Amino acid sequence: MKRREIKNRHESSVLTSFENYLKKDDKLLIIKERQDPPDALVTINEKDTWIEITDAFFNKEFVRSLTSYAADDMEHIPANGGPYIEPDMSFERNVKRVISKKYEKNSIRSIYLKNGAGILLVGLYSPFAALDEIQDIVKIVSKLKANGDGRFKEIYMYDYSHNFYHVP
């Protein structure tokens, strides 16, 4: 499978998992259109909205190792084994950077101005992201959201297993 196909399958998988997550709260998500950006135009309980998906990785070596391993059109490039100094803080900085980029992106701003606020789904990909770290990241992202321009009415973090964590 080529790298672009992996991205599309990943996003489809995240959307399916998010749909299942919402069902637990008796919410019905229907995907109307897949595009980029945003990654999906949807309805949730008959209300139109949009979803943008992004991923935060521990570091560039880690993402390169993951994506090159999965892609048929690339040779696998393994990540170094460390040592890593303050891995939690490093990952938190990467999460903030990835989300801040979504707040700075003009194409997302245009979608927000045209369609109203949407939903941001943020994948957390780090070997060090245990539940307590995720809870800390949710608090940090909550502050980013409060200081943002309102383009994301909801933000959810998700882990490797597609467990979702709502950002208040």
Using 50 as the pLDDT threshold, list the residues of the chain that sit under it.
Answer: 65, 68
Give the SS3 label for residue 153: strand
pLDDT of residue 5: 76
Q: Is 18 left (phi over 0), alpha (psi -120 to 50) or beta?
A: alpha
Phi, psi angle pair for 52, to nearest 5°: -115, 135
| Angle of CA points 129, 131, 134, to nearest 5° | 60
How far is 149 from 49, CA to CA, in rounded Å?
Answer: 17
pTM, to two decimals? 0.86
Give the whole-number percent of the chain exceeding pLDDT 70: 80
Phi, psi angle pair for 150, to nearest 5°: 90, 5
Q: What is the pLDDT of residues 80-127, one digit of tens each?
A: 766 656 767 888 999 999 999 999 999 999 999 999 999 999 999 987
Contacts of 162 (CB under 8 A, 6+ apart): 13, 14, 17, 18, 21
